[in-house]
Amino acid sequence: MPAAPRLASMPMVLCTLGDLVLDVIVRPEQPLVPGDDVPAATQVGAGGQAANVAAWGVALGAQARFVGHRGADAPGGLVAAELARHGVEALGPVGGRTGVIVSVVGVDRDRSMASDRGSATELTAEMLERRWFAGADWLHVSGYMLARETGARASAQAARLARAASAKVSLDAASSTLIRTVGPAVFRERVTQIAPDVVFGTEPEFAALATLPLTAALVVKRGAKGCQILTNGDPLELPAMPAVAVDATGAGDAFAAGYLVGGPQLALAAGARCVSKPGAMP
């Protein structure tokens, strides 16, 4: 049965697929010194690309659901509670340990990350339930799901379930290091199985992918340089919105949420809002 038409007054529904982890953000007051100590400000909270996009979706006016395999330990309870406070419904199996992402913010306000996905890697296609995607307007898939074959199959199944509910599908390429580790050809094939309508990525991520045999719109996240949107026509270049950079953690996720909720201008505004404060979530 086709989905019922959404009333104009109803908020869009954004569903995300990926990780809910513990984010540890470290902002040293000076460059790190090998074998020594420097003072730093540290922030701990919920994170993970899919969780961040869902939280920003709510902050920008959408309803949002997160789908993923979540840890059953004490950190898992903390991050699930924080996600709920952001108004996001968390769906999916619970078990194992919660992953941790450590982000070190440099003096240039950019960040480098070390990622441990924990039990998020255990999600399989067989665990997914059709009702989780019912009524969704968009399914946003984190590229980290494509790191393993099981996650890639789960992503493809989620895309099928979402499209059966009349949703469109987007994907974030996630990490150039991830793409090179998986292998560009394998990663491209896994993307093809999802057949996204929109692919988000940074310039290094798209360079690592080389080419995508897709008709998807490609949205290049360029940080302080704004964004570039590639469709069948000429590329559209849009400048970044003014912002005093504090922490780039999560800015790309805020950008993706803004794009899905309201288009390029809302995406740029959300990215600027995120980079102007500490932390990845709104």
Q: First-to-last CA distance in the chain?
A: 36
Q: Which residues contact 224 (CB under 8 A, 6 or more apart)?
A: 240, 245
- Amino acid present at 101: I
Report the pLDDT value the prediction gives residue 4, as an integer from 0 to 100: 41
Please tell me the distance from the alpha carbon of residue 191 to that of residue 26, in angstroms, as a whole number: 32
Report the pLDDT value the prediction gives residue 34, as an integer from 0 to 100: 86
At how many degrees (to 10) do helices 149-164 and 184-194 cross?
Answer: 20
Q: 165 and 37 in contact (C-beta within 8 Å)?
A: no
Give me 15's structure tokens: 């569903």
Nearest partner of 178 among 108, 104, 117, 127, judged by Cα: 117
Neighbours of 193 (CB within 10 A): 15
| Domain boundary assignment for the chain | 13-275
Whole-model pTM?
Answer: 0.90
Q: 115 and 99 in contact (C-beta within 8 Å)?
A: yes
pLDDT tens readout for residues 236-257: 999 999 998 887 888 999 999 9
Report the pLDDT value the prediction gives residue 2, as an integer from 0 to 100: 40
Which superfamily does 13-275 belong to? Answer: Ribokinase (3.40.1190.20)
Q: What is the pLDDT along the chain (282 residues), one digit of tens a residue?
A: 344 445 456 789 999 999 999 988 888 888 888 888 888 888 888 999 999 999 999 999 999 999 999 999 999 999 999 999 999 999 999 999 999 988 887 766 666 778 899 999 999 999 999 999 999 999 999 999 999 999 999 999 999 999 999 999 999 999 999 999 999 999 999 999 999 999 999 999 999 988 776 678 999 999 999 999 988 767 899 999 999 888 788 899 999 999 999 999 999 999 999 999 988 899
Report the pLDDT value the prediction gives residue 7, as an integer from 0 to 100: 45
Q: Which residues contact 271 (CB under 8 A, 6 or more apart)?
A: 221, 240, 241, 243, 251, 252, 254, 255, 258
Please tell me the distance from the alpha carbon of residue 177 to that of residue 206, in angstroms, as a whole number: 11
Report the pLDDT value the prediction gives residue 204, as an integer from 0 to 100: 94
Q: Are strands 168-172 and 138-142 parallel, antiparallel or unpaired?
A: parallel
Sign of CA dihedral 236, 183, 102, 282: positive
Query: 3-class DSSP state for residue 245?
Result: coil
DSSP per position, 1-66: -PPPPPPTTSPPEEEEES--EEEEEEEESS---TTS---EEEEEEEE-HHHHHHHHHHHTT-EEEE
- Amino acid present at 277: K
